[in-house]
Amino acid sequence: MLEVKDLNVFYGVIHAVKGINFNVPDGKIVTLIGANGAGKSSTLKAIIGLVRPKGEILFKGKEISKMPAHLIARSGIALVPEGRRVFVNLTILENLRMGGFNKELHELEPLYEKMFELFPILKERAYQKAGTLSGGEQQMLAIARALMSEPELLMLDEPSLGLAPLIVAEVFDILKELNKQGRTILLVEQNAAQALKLADYGYVLENGTIALEGEASGLLENDEVRKRYLGED
Ligand SMILES: Nc1ncnc2c1ncn2[C@@H]1O[C@H](COP(=O)(O)OP(=O)(O)OP(=O)(O)O)[C@@H](O)[C@H]1O
Ligand SMILES: [Mg+2]
C-alpha cells in the first residue's frame, strides 16, 4: 500500500531522515521504532505532506511526495499526530466533524455512530469541549477524528506518549481491532515493547537511518533491540 524509497528530510542544514526505505503492505501493521530525534515524526510528516521530502513515496502505486497535504489526506491517508493535537476549544462532536472533512453531510451521522461504538466514552462526552478530556480520552478522540475520513492507511505518531500502562493497553487493543477490520496501520513508537507485540513488521530508526528491520516477533527477540529499546542488559 505504501512504498517509501530513499526518503530524505532536511530542515535547513539538518539532515533528519537520511535515505530510508520501507514498505507498509495492505492489511498489515508496520511499526517504526526509535529514540528521541531519530526522525520518526519527520518521516510521517513527509508522507502526509507537512514537510517536503526528497525521494519517492508511493501510495497505492501513485507518487505522492510532491502532492499538497490536503490532496494526500483525500487520497486515503490519515495521521494521528504526536501529542494528539485535538481542538481543545471544540466539542468532541465538532472534532469528529473536522476529521470528516471529505464527507457529505448525510455520511457524517453513521460515522459518528461508528466512532461512538468504538469509543463509548466519546458518546457520553459528545458535547463537552475536547480540552476537558483526560489524556487517554484525548488520544481516543484523536484516533476517532483520523478515522472519520475513512483512511485506507492510518498513521499514528507515538499514541502511547504520556499515558498510563492500562490506557496504553486499551489504545493498542483498539488498533488491533481496527486492523482486524482491515485497516492498514503505520505506527511510530518509542514504546518498542508494546509496538512490536502489536505489529507484523518493524523498522528500527537511528539517527535518520534504518538500523534494523524484520518480523516484529523476531525484533522482540533480537539482543540489540532488547538492550537498546527494551531496557534489558
Ligand atoms: N522543524 C524543524 N526544524 C529543525 N529541525 C527539526 C525540525 N523538526 C525536527 N527537527 C530535527 O530533526 C530530527 C528528527 O526529529 P523528529 O521529530 O523527526 O524525531 P522523532 O524521532 O520524532 O523524535 P521524538 O521521539 O522526540 O518525537 C531532530 O534532530 C530534530 O531536532
Ligand atoms: Mg516525534
Dihedral of the alpha carbons of 18, 215, 44, 190, in degrees to the nearest 10: -90
Residue with the smallest CA separation from ligand 1 atom 4 is 11
The rounded distance, in Å, linking the Cα atoms of 117 and 164 is 23
Share of the chain above pLDDT 70, in %: 99
Domain boundaries, the chain: 1-76+152-233, 85-150
pLDDT, tens digit, 9 for 90 and up, residues 92-117: 999 999 999 999 999 999 999 999 99
Ligand found nearest the CA of 16: 1
Please answer whether residues 182 and 154 qualify as being in contact, where contact means their C-beta atoms are separated by less than 8 angstroms: no
The rounded distance, in Å, linking the Cα atoms of 80 and 86 is 9
11 ligand 1 Cβ < 6 A:
yes
Around Cβ 22, how many Cβ atoms within 10 Å?
19
pLDDT of residue 28: 98
Q: How far is CA 34 from the centre of its chain?
A: 14
Q: How far is the CA of 104 from the centre of ligand 2 (A)?
A: 33
- For the sheet with 62-63, list strands across it: 14-24, 2-11, 54-59, 62-63
Q: How far is the CA of 38 from the centre of ligand 2 (A)?
A: 8
The stretch 128-132 carries a mean pLDDT of 95
Please answer whether residues 43 and 55 qualify as being in contact, where contact means their C-beta atoms are separated by less than 8 angstroms: no
206 ligand 1 Cβ < 6 A:
no
pLDDT, tens digit, 9 for 90 and up, residues 12-25: 999 999 999 999 99
Residue among 79, 68, 86, 67 at smallest CA distance from 40: 79
Averaged confidence pLDDT in the chain? 95
38 ligand 1 Cβ < 6 A:
yes
Ligand found nearest the CA of 42: 1
pLDDT, tens digit, 9 for 90 and up, residues 27-44: 999 999 999 999 999 999
What atom in ligand 1 is closest to the CA of residue 41?
Answer: 22
The rounded distance, in Å, linking the Cα atoms of 99 and 59 is 20
Around Cβ 114, how many Cβ atoms within 10 Å?
14
Q: Which residues contact 64 (CB under 8 A, 6 or more apart)?
A: 47, 49, 57, 58, 72, 75
pLDDT at 185 over 90: yes
pLDDT of residue 225: 87
The stretch 122-150 carries a mean pLDDT of 95
pLDDT at 211 over 80: yes
82 ligand 1 Cβ < 6 A:
yes
The stretch 49-58 carries a mean pLDDT of 96
Residue with the smallest CA separation from ligand 1 atom 31 is 37
Residue among 80, 84, 74, 92 at smallest CA distance from 147: 80
The rounded distance, in Å, linking the Cα atoms of 122 and 172 is 17
Query: Which phi and psi (to 5°) does residue 161 adopt?
Result: -55, 120
- Give the CATH fold of the 1-76+152-233 domain: Rossmann fold (3.40.50)
Higher-pLDDT residue of 231 and 209 is 209
pLDDT at 231 over 80: no
pLDDT of residue 230: 81
Share of the chain above pLDDT 90, in %: 91
